[in-house]
Copies of this chain bind each other. A is one copy, B any other.
Amino acid sequence: MTGDSSTDLLTSRLGYLFKHAHLQLTEASTRALEPFGIGGRELAVLAVLAGEDPLSQLEAAGRLGVDRTTMVALVDALEGKALVERRRSERDRRRNIVQPTPAGRDLLHRAEQTRRETERRFLAPLAPADADGLVRALQTLVTSRPTAD
Protein backbone atom coordinates (compact mmCIF):
# COMPACT_ATOMS: atom_id res chain seq x y z
CA MET A 1 0.00 0.00 0.00
CA THR A 2 2.56 2.51 1.03
CA GLY A 3 5.50 0.53 -0.29
CA ASP A 4 7.62 2.52 2.17
CA SER A 5 9.39 0.20 4.57
CA SER A 6 10.15 2.96 7.06
CA THR A 7 6.45 3.80 7.21
CA ASP A 8 5.54 0.15 7.64
CA LEU A 9 7.96 -0.05 10.50
CA LEU A 10 5.79 2.42 12.38
CA THR A 11 2.32 1.53 11.16
CA SER A 12 2.92 -2.04 12.28
CA ARG A 13 3.27 -0.73 15.82
CA LEU A 14 -0.04 -0.63 17.62
CA GLY A 15 1.18 2.08 19.99
CA TYR A 16 2.04 4.36 17.10
CA LEU A 17 -1.35 3.76 15.49
CA PHE A 18 -3.32 4.51 18.67
CA LYS A 19 -1.24 7.58 19.42
CA HIS A 20 -1.53 9.11 15.99
CA ALA A 21 -5.18 8.21 15.51
CA HIS A 22 -5.86 9.96 18.82
CA LEU A 23 -3.68 12.93 17.88
CA GLN A 24 -5.37 13.41 14.52
CA LEU A 25 -8.86 13.13 15.95
CA THR A 26 -7.99 15.49 18.80
CA GLU A 27 -6.69 18.03 16.33
CA ALA A 28 -9.85 17.84 14.22
CA SER A 29 -12.06 18.00 17.33
CA THR A 30 -10.25 20.98 18.80
CA ARG A 31 -10.62 22.88 15.54
CA ALA A 32 -14.29 21.95 15.18
CA LEU A 33 -15.15 22.90 18.77
CA GLU A 34 -13.26 26.18 18.67
CA PRO A 35 -16.39 28.25 17.84
CA PHE A 36 -17.99 26.92 21.03
CA GLY A 37 -15.07 28.05 23.17
CA ILE A 38 -14.72 24.61 24.66
CA GLY A 39 -12.24 21.75 24.42
CA GLY A 40 -12.98 18.08 23.86
CA ARG A 41 -12.12 17.15 27.43
CA GLU A 42 -14.34 19.89 28.83
CA LEU A 43 -17.15 18.73 26.58
CA ALA A 44 -16.82 15.17 27.90
CA VAL A 45 -16.97 16.48 31.48
CA LEU A 46 -20.02 18.55 30.65
CA ALA A 47 -21.70 15.52 29.08
CA VAL A 48 -21.07 13.42 32.18
CA LEU A 49 -22.35 16.18 34.47
CA ALA A 50 -25.50 16.52 32.37
CA GLY A 51 -26.41 12.90 33.05
CA GLU A 52 -29.52 11.89 34.96
CA ASP A 53 -28.12 12.01 38.50
CA PRO A 54 -26.41 15.07 39.93
CA LEU A 55 -22.75 14.20 40.49
CA SER A 56 -20.12 15.40 42.92
CA GLN A 57 -16.69 16.29 41.59
CA LEU A 58 -15.28 13.01 42.87
CA GLU A 59 -18.04 11.00 41.19
CA ALA A 60 -17.51 12.82 37.91
CA ALA A 61 -13.77 12.20 38.19
CA GLY A 62 -14.43 8.50 38.71
CA ARG A 63 -16.69 8.34 35.67
CA LEU A 64 -14.06 9.93 33.48
CA GLY A 65 -11.07 8.14 34.93
CA VAL A 66 -9.28 11.31 35.95
CA ASP A 67 -7.83 12.39 39.25
CA ARG A 68 -9.91 14.55 41.62
CA THR A 69 -7.23 17.27 41.42
CA THR A 70 -7.61 17.25 37.65
CA MET A 71 -11.36 17.56 38.06
CA VAL A 72 -10.92 20.74 40.12
CA ALA A 73 -9.26 22.44 37.16
CA LEU A 74 -11.81 21.11 34.68
CA VAL A 75 -14.76 22.31 36.76
CA ASP A 76 -12.97 25.64 37.31
CA ALA A 77 -12.77 26.07 33.54
CA LEU A 78 -16.42 25.17 32.96
CA GLU A 79 -17.59 27.34 35.85
CA GLY A 80 -15.50 30.23 34.52
CA LYS A 81 -17.53 30.02 31.33
CA ALA A 82 -20.79 29.84 33.31
CA LEU A 83 -21.53 26.39 31.85
CA VAL A 84 -21.78 24.65 35.24
CA GLU A 85 -22.45 25.63 38.84
CA ARG A 86 -21.02 24.22 42.05
CA ARG A 87 -23.21 23.92 45.09
CA ARG A 88 -22.54 22.29 48.44
CA SER A 89 -24.43 19.09 49.05
CA GLU A 90 -26.85 19.50 51.95
CA ARG A 91 -26.56 15.85 52.91
CA ASP A 92 -22.76 15.95 53.01
CA ARG A 93 -21.24 19.38 53.15
CA ARG A 94 -17.84 18.10 51.97
CA ARG A 95 -19.16 17.44 48.52
CA ASN A 96 -19.61 19.83 45.61
CA ILE A 97 -22.56 18.94 43.45
CA VAL A 98 -21.79 20.23 39.97
CA GLN A 99 -24.62 20.83 37.53
CA PRO A 100 -24.83 22.36 34.07
CA THR A 101 -26.46 25.76 33.77
CA PRO A 102 -29.13 26.24 31.09
CA ALA A 103 -26.41 27.80 28.94
CA GLY A 104 -24.28 24.73 29.62
CA ARG A 105 -27.01 22.34 28.50
CA ASP A 106 -27.64 24.38 25.40
CA LEU A 107 -23.96 24.45 24.46
CA LEU A 108 -23.69 20.74 25.22
CA HIS A 109 -26.39 19.81 22.72
CA ARG A 110 -24.97 21.99 19.97
CA ALA A 111 -21.34 21.00 20.55
CA GLU A 112 -22.22 17.29 20.73
CA GLN A 113 -23.71 17.53 17.24
CA THR A 114 -20.45 18.96 16.02
CA ARG A 115 -18.43 16.30 17.82
CA ARG A 116 -20.49 13.50 16.26
CA GLU A 117 -20.11 15.05 12.84
CA THR A 118 -16.35 15.38 13.35
CA GLU A 119 -16.06 11.72 14.29
CA ARG A 120 -18.13 10.74 11.29
CA ARG A 121 -15.80 12.65 8.99
CA PHE A 122 -12.77 11.19 10.72
CA LEU A 123 -14.05 7.68 10.01
CA ALA A 124 -15.06 8.51 6.44
CA PRO A 125 -12.01 6.80 4.87
CA LEU A 126 -13.43 3.49 6.14
CA ALA A 127 -16.33 1.52 4.71
CA PRO A 128 -19.28 1.83 7.13
CA ALA A 129 -18.96 -1.79 8.21
CA ASP A 130 -15.25 -1.33 8.90
CA ALA A 131 -15.90 1.84 10.89
CA ASP A 132 -18.46 -0.03 12.99
CA GLY A 133 -16.01 -2.87 13.46
CA LEU A 134 -13.31 -0.46 14.60
CA VAL A 135 -15.52 1.14 17.22
CA ARG A 136 -16.75 -2.21 18.50
CA ALA A 137 -13.21 -3.59 18.67
CA LEU A 138 -12.04 -0.55 20.64
CA GLN A 139 -14.98 -0.87 23.03
CA THR A 140 -14.14 -4.52 23.58
CA LEU A 141 -10.49 -3.77 24.28
CA VAL A 142 -11.08 -0.79 26.54
CA THR A 143 -13.75 -2.50 28.62
CA SER A 144 -11.79 -5.77 28.79
CA ARG A 145 -9.33 -4.30 31.22
CA PRO A 146 -9.82 -2.66 34.58
CA THR A 147 -9.29 1.09 34.30
CA ALA A 148 -6.03 1.86 36.05
CA ASP A 149 -7.84 4.46 38.14
A→B interface (CB under 8 Å):
1-2, 5-7, 9-11, 13-27, 29, 40, 44, 47-48, 51-52, 63-65, 115, 119, 122-123, 125-126, 130-131, 133-145, 147-148
Contacts and interface: CB of A to CB of B under 8 A. Distances in A.
B15 A141 contact: no
A16 B2 contact: no
Interface of A is mostly: helix
Contacts of A21: 18, 138, 141-142
A97 to B, nearest CB: 16
A29 B51 contact: no
A25 B20 contact: no
Contacts of A64: 10
